[in-house]
Amino acid sequence: MASRVTRLALLARFALLAASLSGQTEKTLHNFNTLDGSSPQSGLTMDAAGNLYGTTAEGGTYGAGEVFELSPNGSGGWTETVLYSFTGGADGSTPFSSGVIFDSSGNLYGTTVTGGAKNKGAVFELSPAATGWSERVLYSFRSGNDGALPYAGLVFDPAGNLYGATYQGGHYSVGTVFELSPSGHGQWTEKVIHAFFGNDGEGPLGSLTIDSNGNLYGTTFSGGSHNYGVVYRITPSSTGTWTESVLHAFTGGDDGGWPNAMRPALDSSGSIFGTTQVGGAFGSGTVWRLYSAGGAWREQVLYSFEGNVADSPVSGVVFDAAGNLYGTCSNLTGGITSVGAVYELIRQSSGRWNGTILHAFFGADGAYPVGPVLLDAAGNLYGTTSLGGAGKAGVVFEITP
């Protein structure tokens, strides 16, 4: 009887969620076809002119992934330009989920999981020129104490230093957080500022967030006291050393597990927001908030996905001006009625959060969105799906209110 009641409740909930779809419009901006890229796993970056930039983990000229640009063509459509195709060798291979970020001069920066001098990943820079974009490897990981397999993207500090994380390597071989600093004459120097050892986290997949005090925040996919991942903070000192603190260790139960978030989000009060791939009330993932109270950090689960329309939120969340949250569900663990979704969480005056499915994917319009969404000033959302679309190699989509 209990299972039947649960199923009826889920169906009723799905009906309410489906009714909300009519207020949103989804449009496919680009269908990848392997030659022009395949399996976009990252989020997108927008420049001041409204052009979108991202990476594909596979495809391109050499099959090792690419960096692309999408530009409005003035006729309501978008034109894709491949800025760089990785060869799979010393220049890098498989820019998995990092995406790219800009510096003040218009150069793009990102990471590749493999490739580089030792085939353990690289940090790259793309620079615009009259004849196209040129790529330069700033650092190749060696799989030693310096780290290996940088799935995560990068973040700048105000001084122009880059920070990122590697999934493996380091002194204990379970991942690092690193700093890359310009050292003159176009050279960069890598420094490991934290090596994970397991109980403090293991396997950081997500990108970092930096606050106004220079503290870095991130998640590890596993490790911690329950081996379901942690949220951590790394704090700099005046002497150049860094200290890691575990803010929350997930149990895999109601609080969530496996925080595969792209980048934690911070609000103005210093609270931290993110997602877990599993756990929660239905076991299908959560959106969570960490807040400081009485000198300790506490977790609040804002939303538990029920697994019917949406599950496995492996990307992080973004805020709008009203404090509502947006993200994607990949449906990697068995969503029944769709192959991924874009959702909104609306904060209520009571302090509760209501979930709304803005769009559910069904294959032809995209499938399995694992990257985060990008929110523009007009309230439009942009993102990628790793599969689906006309070429079955993924899409770039837009959702308009």
pLDDT of amino acid 315: 93
Choice among 8-22, 99-113, 132-146, 163-177 with the minimum mean pLDDT:
8-22
Average pLDDT over residues 317-330: 96
- Tokens encoding 129: 């020129």
Average pLDDT over residues 53-63: 98
Beta strands in 185-241 (DSSP E): 187-195, 209-210, 216-220, 230-236
The number of helices, as runs of H, and strands, as runs of E, in the chain is 1, 28
pLDDT of amino acid 23: 61
CA distance 123 to 154: 9
pLDDT digits (tens, 9 = 90+) for 100-126: 999 999 999 999 999 999 999 999 999
pLDDT digits (tens, 9 = 90+) for 183-212: 988 899 999 999 999 999 999 999 999 999
pLDDT of amino acid 42: 94
What is the pTM for the complete model shown? 0.93
Choice among 136-150, 312-326, 336-350 with the minimum mean pLDDT:
336-350
Q: At a CB cut-off of 8 Å and minimum separation 6, what does 161 contact?
A: 179, 180, 181, 182
pLDDT of amino acid 22: 41
Break the chain into its structural domains and give their ranges: 262-401
pLDDT of amino acid 211: 97
Beta strands in 256-323 (DSSP E): 265-266, 272-276, 286-293, 296-304, 318-319
CA distance 188 to 106: 18
pLDDT of amino acid 333: 73
* pLDDT of 307 higher than 60: yes
Paired strand residues for 293: 296
| 335 band by pLDDT with thresholds 50, 70 and 90 | low
pLDDT of amino acid 9: 39
pLDDT of amino acid 11: 35
* pLDDT of 387 higher than 80: yes
Q: Please answer whether residues 316 and 264 qualify as being in contact, where contact means their C-beta atoms are separated by less than 8 angstroms.
A: yes
The percentage of the chain sitting over the pLDDT mark of 70, rounded to a whole number, equals 94
φ and ψ at residue 317, rounded to 5 degrees: -125, 160
Residue 46: how many other CB atoms lie within 10 Å:
16
Per-position DSSP letters for 70-89, written without gaps between them: EEE-SSS-EEEEEEEE--SS
DSSP letter (8 states) at residue 21 = G
| 79 band by pLDDT with thresholds 50, 70 and 90 | very high
- Tokens encoding 159: 């001084």
- Tokens encoding 121: 């990943």
pLDDT of amino acid 184: 85
Per-position DSSP letters for 37-67, written without gaps between them: BB---S--EE-TTS-EEEEESBBSTTSB-EE
pLDDT of amino acid 24: 77
Q: Please answer whether residues 375 and 354 qualify as being in contact, where contact means their C-beta atoms are separated by less than 8 angstroms.
A: no
Average pLDDT over residues 23-50: 95
pLDDT digits (tens, 9 = 90+) for 120-146: 999 999 999 988 999 999 999 998 999
Per-position DSSP letters for 340-366, written without gaps between them: -EEEEEEE-TTS-EEEEEEEE--BTTB
DSSP element (H, E) containing 17: helix 2-19
CA distance 138 to 245: 29
CA distance 285 to 343: 13
Average pLDDT over residues 172-180: 98
pLDDT of amino acid 114: 98
